[in-house]
Amino acid sequence: MKKMKTITFVLTSVIFFCYRLSYSSDDFEKIYRIVMTKPQVQLSLLNGNIQVVNIYKDQIKSIYESRNMNEEDRISQFVHDVYFPHREYWGNFYDEDGFKKWTKSNWDNLTNIKTPGIMIPFEVDFDSLFSLTVSKLKILTSKEPQGKWYLVYGNKASGIGGFSNGSMFVDFFGVGNKGAAGLIFNLPHEINHQIFSKTNAGAYSLLYRIIDEGFACYVNYIYWDKKFSPARNIDFTEQEWKWCMENENIIFKYAKPFLDSTNSVIINKFSRAHSYIFKGAPGRIAYFIGFRICEAYVKKNGADAWKDIYNTQLVDVLRLSDYENNIHN
């Protein structure tokens, strides 16, 4: 218990450290000089189990070092410096031409340190934060993540997210106004995805997405000692959570026929922001369903039973939770 409290204190200190830092200058040279004190783009953590690719450093270096070029040449240089070395990341979104178009349309954001999110990697030491978060998760779960993380100024598709191969990313522009505190709060959720993808690599379906997302939210809830509401942990407003609780039976009845579906259109309808299963429902309803299944599983099987979800067949997680039989509205 003492070790757990120490780690929590250190993480809290990291949050406070973020807020003490202040950058008032709009001079891009400032962050370039900071990057050049630690210019390494590729790093290994946790005895090589995690690779961190600091794409944002190549972005900053390219922007600053091409400052005397004309606009067309600067864009071309940026494509050369950022797209080609990191195609394994950008290829999930763009081909070369698409990336060039994205760069042109986002150049003002990329070159302005007042853009929301651009200062996050200078407000928190991600490597230390990641290692500390994993340390506490290991105490809770006896498990560690494996895989790759990309840190990038991206296209805002998500603040923190992942790909089907288990690699993850932090898009500082996507995190935006939530700032470093938002990154710190949600990091256990995202690390849990990376653990779960290795321990419970079942066939991808709507049920898999529901439990994967809901379980990540539930672990985040446990990680922060249940100090934040379930709504906060699934990134719902309290009003959205209340609506879902009042309509839980209708929600699950609608979802049940699709649980085995591998159709990406259906899965996205349940799991993406601004996608709704029917009028009045919040987006990303899969997160709510999954969280409630995890709660039901723990209620049915004991306080520490959530740890079983890492290695239990997902159809059995649903069955053993007795979730459907305990929805009372």
Q: Using DSSP, how many helices (H) and how many strands (E) does the chain show?
A: 18, 5
Query: Burial of 232 by CB count in 10 Å (0-12 exposed, 13-18 middle, 19+ buried)?
Result: middle
3-class DSSP assignment, residue 289: helix
CA atoms within 13 A on the CB side of 180: 23
Residue with tokens 């009045």, as numbered in its chain: 280
Torsion sign, CA atoms 273, 275, 279, 284: negative
pTM of the model: 0.86
Q: How far is CA 212 from CA 51, 77, 227, 255, 260, in A?
A: 22, 39, 22, 16, 14
Amino acid identity, position 281: A
Amino acid identity, position 78: F
Buried residues in 296-316 as b, exposed as e (16+ CB within 10 A): bbbeebeeebbbebbebebee
Q: Which residues pair with 102 in a beta bridge?
A: none
Structure tokens at 198: 């290795």
DSSP sequence for 36-87: HHS---EEEETTTTEEEEEHHHHHHHHHHHTTTS-HHHHHHHHIIIIIGGGH
In sequence order, the 6+-apart residues with CB closer than 8 A to the CB of 135 are 7
Rounded to 5 degrees, φ, ψ at 93 are -125, -40
Full pLDDT tens readout for the chain, 329 residues: 444 554 454 455 454 444 444 444 457 898 999 999 999 999 888 888 889 999 999 999 999 999 999 999 999 999 999 999 999 999 999 999 999 999 999 999 999 999 999 999 998 888 889 889 999 999 999 998 888 999 999 998 788 888 878 889 999 999 988 888 888 999 999 999 999 988 987 778 999 999 999 999 999 999 999 999 999 999 999 999 999 999 999 999 999 999 999 999 999 999 998 899 998 899 999 999 999 999 999 999 999 999 999 999 999 999 999 999 988 66
Q: Which residues pair with 42 in a beta bridge?
A: 53
Q: Kind and range of the H or E element at 251?
A: helix 248-255
